[in-house]
Amino acid sequence: MKTSDFDYDLPIERIAQTPIEPRHASRLLVLQRDKPQLEHTTFWDVADYLLPGDLLVINQTRVIPARIFAHKSTGGKVELLLLRRIDLTSWEALVGGKKVRAGTRLSLDNGPEAEVVTEMEGSRRLVRFAEPVETYLAAAGQMPLPPYIHERLADPERYQTVYSRESGSAAAPTAGLHFTPELMARLEANGVQFARVTLHVGLDTFAPVTEDDPLEHKIHTEWCELGAETAAQINRVKKQGGRIIAVGTTSVRTLESAVRAATAGEVVGAYSGPTDLFILPGYRFHVVDAMITNFHLPKSTLLMLVSAFAGRERILAAYAEAVRLNYRFFSFGDAMLVK
């Protein structure tokens, strides 16, 4: 297995720059692993492929407005993208600017003072603020859209799921962006259940793998939580013969990580903590029966994950067909149902 095995050609015009309105009007490509043909529909009609008793597992994380700006004492401009809170006042951040080294003091525009405490890998730094920075983010922070999106987002809430609750992500769990309250009510009326988990998304999730051998890639740790109530719900649905359908790769990783906490007779157990689970072809899924997911970047860990679920050849063939049929790719793009 090589990283190049997960490459594909994508015309730049296929990268969605703006979200579709309404959310559930996006297109949906349906790949059934036991059938050779693909189906094409809209996301509103995902209800046609779900059964009473199925359980959709959604990631309730909320993106924080984590891009902020500061100045060094010399006047030089610095951009900070906060990735992960370490403690009450310290954050791991991506830093843009010249010579931002350990010991560099920063002044936020109309905000608290800060200091670079530790230099980490690449442009990552550990930054300590003089006070908790969350209030400042709410007032002055900008939404950290992925670098391949060049259009300004008129409504920042369009980069949040309608069910987001727990702030902490540097990027949205984009498979969930297709859901609307109307669609969720329709599914529940059909007997489909919802369960909530949390995984705070880091930018590394979307980064391409640069090593020739993906086994040499170090996937960065993300924090996730699957509560006792959700664990009981999942175990109950499994025993009753229902399907566990993960909404997004973040939900997949949370579910499969919670297997480690299961006791005898359980599929998953309650879990809260870090996960570095890296799912590659050859992985045996313990919980997930189907998944809803967007179209992912070439050579990314996310493309490797969906390839592990449905087979690399099937996924790449489906992607080629999606390109041919003008599907929209990446964060604001269309969706797949893989079952």
21: buried, middle or exposed (CB in 10 Å: 19+, 13-18, 0-12)?
A: exposed
Same domain? 199 vs 319 = yes
The verdict on residue 148 lying in a domain is no
pLDDT tens per residue across span 312-333: 999 999 999 999 999 999 999 9
Stretch among 200-214, 217-231, 287-301 having the lowest mean pLDDT: 200-214
pLDDT category of residue 335 using cuts at 50, 70 and 90: very high
Q: Judge if 31 and 77 occupy the same domain.
A: no
The answer to whether the CB of 294 falls within 8 A of the CB of 318 is no
Share of the chain above pLDDT 90, in %: 86
Q: Could you tell me if 161 and 245 lie in one domain?
A: yes
Residue partners of 204: CB distance under 8 A and separation at least 6: 219, 220
**Domain presence at residue 145:** no
- Quote the pLDDT of residue 303: 96
Domain of residue 162, residue span: 3-63+153-338
**Same-domain check for residues 53 and 118:** no
Residues 76 and 38 in one domain: no
- This prediction's pTM: 0.93
Residue 202 has pLDDT above 90, yes or no: no
Residues 35, 133 share a domain = no
**Domain check: are 77 and 45 in the same one?**
no
Q: Does 155 score more than 70 pLDDT? A: yes
In a domain, 331, yes or no: yes
Distances (CA, A) of 208 to 9, 203, 315: 14, 11, 17
Same domain, yes or no, for 305 and 244? yes
Q: Are residues 51 and 198 in the same domain?
A: yes
Number of domains in the chain: 2
Q: Per-residue confidence at 122, pLDDT binned at 50, 70, 90?
A: confident
Both 232 and 166 in a single domain? yes
Distances (CA, A) of 12 to 59, 149, 251, 334: 29, 11, 28, 15
Q: How confident is the model at residue 205 (pLDDT cuts 50, 70, 90)?
A: low
252 and 112 assigned to the same domain: no
Q: What whole-number distance in Å separates Cα of residue 178 and Cα of residue 267?
A: 28
- Unique residue bearing structure tokens 């995902």: 46
pLDDT of res. 218: 84
Domain shared by 114 and 54, yes or no: no
Give pLDDT tens digits for 302-311.
Answer: 999 999 999 9
